[in-house]
Amino acid sequence: MTEKTPILEVKNLWVKLPDEEDYILRGMDLTIYPGEVHALMGPNGSGKSTLAKVLAGHPGYEVVDGEILFKGENILEMEPDERARAGLFLAFQYPMEVPGVTIANFMRLAYQRRFDKEVKYGDFYKILLQHLKKLEMDASFAARPVNEGFSGGEKKRFEIVQLSLLEPQLAVLDETDSGLDIDALKVVSNGVNLMRSPERSFLVITHYQRILNYITPDYVHVMVEGRVVRSGDAELAQQLEEKGYDWIRGELAAANT
């Protein structure tokens, strides 16, 4: 049997805000192997986005205990930019609005950083257009200013363009932006499905089972109060949809008495 190295290992992670006593992540564990798609679900405030931000290296959180290994290496010592270059992708680590800077200009810089090489503007434009075509997006998107006046669906499209161009080994998608219409949902899921490969892994954070109708995860985890309390396959997401999170909370309470 060959031993594969996990792409991501989160081990007993305890995280809080610097000036608070209460922990947000309370002994979080998560292991993702290459090629796997994991869905992370859980009620509001359970710590899903916090995990994503800590993975990205957000400076606003204090990691008090535990480890995060990306391809076997401790990333807690790495700057956000280094993490991205190592192949970790988080859509929101990019600025929310960059007035005046077009998607083409912005993405060229990100592309050059990721692959550590100079690419002429004209050459990059061609690459970008190929990706837009593959994703069935309009070529005019390339000339739009980054996120300026983007609708929720357009932001999601932009995330998927980034994902396609930057070819990360682990993509973390935080689908907290509810209110995505069915088209935006399909853009995100088609993008993920197109980019699924034996080398690439995904962590899809979501509230609802909805997106999982389009992306079939290999594993589903339920987070409650800062840790994974239940893991299973796609069937678990179905059960949650039917029974709600109180079902899990009820079981946890029963186990603790």
Q: Is 46 in the site for ligand ATP (CB under 6 A)?
A: yes
The piece of 41-49, 57-65, 69-77, 239-247 that touches Mg ion (CB under 5 A) is 41-49
For Mg ion, give the closer residue by CB, 87 or 226. Answer: 226
CB contact burial 219-228 (16+ within 10 A = b; e otherwise): bbbbbbbbbb
Residue 57 has which token pair?
């290296």
Task: Pick what 142 binds: ligand ATP, Mg ion, none; C-beta below 5 to 8 Å, kind-dependent.
Answer: none
> Are 36 and 99 spatial neighbours (Cβ–Cβ below 8 Å)?
no
Q: Binding ligand ATP by CB under 6 A: which of 36, 38, 41, 47?
A: 47
Q: Binding ligand ATP by CB under 6 A: which of 18, 59, 60, 179?
A: 60
Amino acid identity, position 145: P
Question: Considering only residues 127-186, where is the footprint of Mg ion by CB under 5 A?
Answer: 176
For ligand ATP, give the closer residue by CB, 28 or 161. Answer: 28
The piece of 47-55, 63-71, 74-82, 187-195 that touches ligand ATP (CB under 6 A) is 47-55
Question: Considering only residues 170-209, where is the footprint of ligand ATP by CB under 6 A?
Answer: 176, 207
Closest CA to 40 of 49, 54, 246: 49
> Are 201 and 35 spatial neighbours (Cβ–Cβ below 8 Å)?
yes
CB of 27 to ligand ATP, least distance (A): 15
What are the φ/ψ torsions at residue 168 (nearest 5 degrees)?
A: -70, 160
Question: Considering only residues 82-141, where is the footprint of ligand ATP by CB under 6 A?
Answer: none
Give the Cα separation of 137 and 163 in Å (integer).
Answer: 14
Amino acid identity, position 41: M
Number of other CB atoms surrounding residue 238 within 10 Å: 15
Task: Pick what 50 binds: Mg ion, ligand ATP, none; C-beta below 5 to 8 Å, kind-dependent.
Answer: ligand ATP
> Are 132 and 138 spatial neighbours (Cβ–Cβ below 8 Å)?
yes
Binding site for ligand ATP (CB under 6 A): 17, 24, 42, 44-50, 60, 176, 207
Binding site for Mg ion (CB under 5 A): 48-49, 176
